[in-house]
């Protein structure tokens, strides 16, 4: 219901206000995994605010709702180097102000929680590949685009999770997922140091527990709500924030 209302509103807005003309756009945001869930909700908010959104999808031909928003849709599988290279080629010479590494994966949603006994090597490695290696490879491939941005501060936002906090009490059955977010957090800190010289702020952002395919229907937050807040937090980031971990409404989180 919400999604439909947003979609109709935004597609009407995109056409009437011509938010994609170079003069009127506030900036360009690339969001990975934008075809559903949090990436989709964040795309809606940025487009409604007057940004151009480049939304990536593994299957662009199926990303009808994302296209209806007015986003430019580009194919990307973050575990596939050829796909990453192709995306970079497609976007060559396109300035990008903000990269949101949102695409994420959790194993075994369909067969119950992972236990000490049943978590497999494949689950660990695939989840790590998508959630930790993916954001690094995508950010590196898009560095030329970030360098073309004329924004004072360029931004890379890695969508992390409270699950990545090392000292958080153990949540039963998430063996393969949580450590990928811990790794992503460390990668965030390291990239923030390397990219500081280019005025690129790199942060980890925890979106909260949301009602998506990954978060499940019992989650506390609606993506439309939390991503509206997150958009404002992302807009407000400065170089002082680089290398930090923030919540969707801007609260600071200890690693």
Binding site for ligand NDP (CB under 6 A): 32-33, 35-39, 58-59, 76-79, 102-105, 130, 159, 161, 207, 209-210, 212-215, 219
The span from the CA of 134 to the CA of 84, in Å, is 9
- Of the two residues 96 and 157, which places its CB atom closer to ligand NDP in the complex? 157
Q: Looking at beta carbons only, is 130 or 237 nearer to ligand NDP?
A: 130
Smaller CB separation from ligand NDP, 161 or 242? 161
Catalytic option among 51, 128, 175, 177? 177
We find the least distance from the C-beta atom of residue 70 to ligand NDP, in angstroms, to be 18
Q: How many helices (H) and strands (E) does the chain have?
A: 9, 7
32, two tokens: 């990975």
Q: In the block, which residue shows the tokens 């807009």?
A: 235
Residues 6 or more apart in contact with residue 228 via CB below 8 angstroms: 41, 45
Q: Which residues pair with 202 in a beta bridge?
A: 156
177 is catalytic: yes
For residue 198, the minimal CB distance to ligand NDP (Å) is 24
Least Å distance, CB 48 to ligand NDP, is 18
* Sheet order of strands, 28-31 included: 72-75, 52-57, 28-31, 98-101, 154-159, 200-206, 245-247
Which residues, at least 6 apart from 15, have a Cβ–Cβ distance to it below 8 Å?
70
Q: Kindly tell me which of 117 and 170 has the beta carbon lying closer to ligand NDP.
A: 170
Of the candidates 145, 141, 144, the one whose C-alpha atom is nearest the C-alpha of residue 96 is 145
Q: How far is the CB of 52 from ligand NDP (least distance, A)?
A: 19
Active site residue ranges: 177
């Amino acid at each position: 219901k919400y999604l439909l209302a947003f979609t109709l509103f935004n597609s009407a807005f995109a056409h009437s206000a011509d938010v994609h003309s170079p003069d009127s756009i506030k900036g360009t945001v690339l969001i990975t995994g934008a075809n559903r869930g949090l990436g989709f909700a964040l795309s809606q908010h940025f487009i409604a605010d007057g940004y151009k959104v480049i939304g990536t999808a593994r299957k662009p031909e199926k990303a009808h709702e994302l296209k209806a928003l007015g986003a430019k849709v580009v194919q990307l599988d973050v575990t596939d180097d050829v796909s990453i290279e192709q995306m970079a080629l497609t976007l060559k010479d396109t300035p990008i102000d903000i990269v949101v590494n949102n695409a994420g994966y959790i194993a075994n949603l369909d067969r119950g929680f992972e236990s000490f006994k049943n978590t497999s090597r494949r689950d660990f490695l695939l989840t790590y590949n998508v959630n930790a290696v993916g954001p690094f490879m995508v950010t590196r491939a898009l560095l030329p685009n970030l360098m073309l941005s004329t924004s004072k501060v360029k931004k890379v936002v890695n969508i992390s999770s409270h699950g990545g906090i090392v000292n958080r009490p153990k949540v039963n059955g998430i063996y393969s997922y949580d450590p990928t977010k811990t790794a992503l957090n460390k990668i965030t800190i390291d990239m923030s140091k390397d990219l500081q010289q280019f005025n690129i702020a790199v942060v980890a952002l925890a979106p909260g527990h949301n009602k998506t395919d990954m978060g499940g229907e019992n989650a506390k937050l609606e993506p439309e709500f939390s991503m509206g807040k997150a958009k404002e937090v992302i807009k407000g980031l400065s170089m002082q924030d680089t290398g930090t971990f923030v919540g969707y409404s801007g609260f600071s989180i200890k690693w």
